[in-house]
Structure 1
Amino acid sequence: MFSNKKDEKKLDEVSTVIGEETTFTGTLEVNSSIRIDGKVYGDVKCNGDVTVGQEGYIEKQLTARNLFLAGKIQGDVKIEGKIHIYDSGSLDGKAEMNTIVIDENGHFNGECVMTGSQDVAGKKENSSKKEKVKEVKEQA
């Protein structure tokens, strides 16, 4: 019980910052949230949220809980929750997420796959069909 709250708090806290003057090459794994204002060439695997500042750049693949993009990503992203592309943000590549928000001047070029909303709709439809079948059986 207590560890879940602690883990959730850890995911909400930004514990790592890649500064504007920093370039990172390789695989970056973060167990909390991260802010990227520099350049990352390689995979980013984050259990928390990823914030990419206006000067931030990621090239390759990104997995995270949520993505807040004011900079640029060239590559594929797989996000559990929401992608928010701000007016200065740019995403070129395949995006997989539950929700996406693109501000007026935000840029997205690629393939978009909505994951959570389709699953929920399918489950609701299947459960309502099961209930109707049950009602028909009971009436017979």
Structure 2
Amino acid sequence: MKKTGYMDDGNITLLAKGVELKGEIKVEGTVRIDGRLEGDVQTKGQVIVGEDGLVKGTISAGTLISSGRIKATVTATERIELLKTAVLIGEMHCPVISMEAGAKFQGVSDMGVTAWPDEAPRLPGNVRDMAQHRGKAVALIGKEPDL
């Protein structure tokens, strides 16, 4: 069996190439968009936008995988993957973002970081800081350098 780029949970909603929809899609599983959607998509599963797919509106999902065109506010609880032919204009809100070379993004991204600690994080006890173990410079007095 060929492995596809997404998990098949048995519940797939398909908006096929050539189909145009204005409205809202709310499902539990995977949504694949190869047509045009002007509206909102809501799922706890995956939203897959194919190369011919176009979405204008909002997307709320567990994961977004896109190789198509999106002009939307996207919120993903797990990750957003933009494949090499993807174009996303808008906002991305998610903990993990990956973009292949060639993917294009214009807008705002938010990965949930609000601040960084004042001090660098401490290394676990079994990992040593190499700076502490560097050799010290030693000067030899009274010996001619070897040339």
Q: TM-score, normalised by structure 1?
A: 0.73
- Which residue in 1 is equivalent to 2:76? 79
- Mapping 1:25-104, distance limit 5 Å: 25-104=22-101
Is contact 1:62–1:76 with CA below 8 Å preserved after alignment? yes
- What is the distance in 2 between the residues matched to 1:24 and 1:49? 19
Q: Which of 9, 16, 20 matches 2:17?
A: 20
Is contact 2:54–2:68 with CA below 8 Å preserved after alignment? yes
Is contact 2:11–2:28 with CA below 8 Å preserved after alignment? no
Runs of 4+ in 1 over 6 A off after TM superposition: none
Identical positions, percent: 25
One-letter amino acid matched to 1:81 = E
User: Is residue 111 from structure 1 mapped to residue 108 from structure 2 by the alignment?
Assistant: yes
- Which residue in 1 is equivalent to 2:4? none
Deviations 1:8-58 (A, max 9, x none): xx9833421110011111111111111110000001111200110000010
- What is the distance in 1 between the residues matched to 2:8 and 2:96? 19
Is contact 2:49–2:68 with CA below 8 Å preserved after alignment? yes
The structure number with the bigger radius of gyration is 2
Higher helix share: 1
RMSD between aligned alpha carbons?
A: 2.2
- 1:110 Cα deviation (Å)? 0.3
- What is the distance in 1 between the residues matched to 2:77 and 2:69? 19
- What is the distance in 2 between the residues matched to 1:62 and 1:27? 10
Unaligned runs of 5+ in 1: 1-9, 123-127, 129-140
- What is the distance in 2 between the residues matched to 1:34 and 1:98? 21
One-letter amino acid matched to 1:19 = A
Is contact 2:30–2:47 with CA below 8 Å preserved after alignment? yes
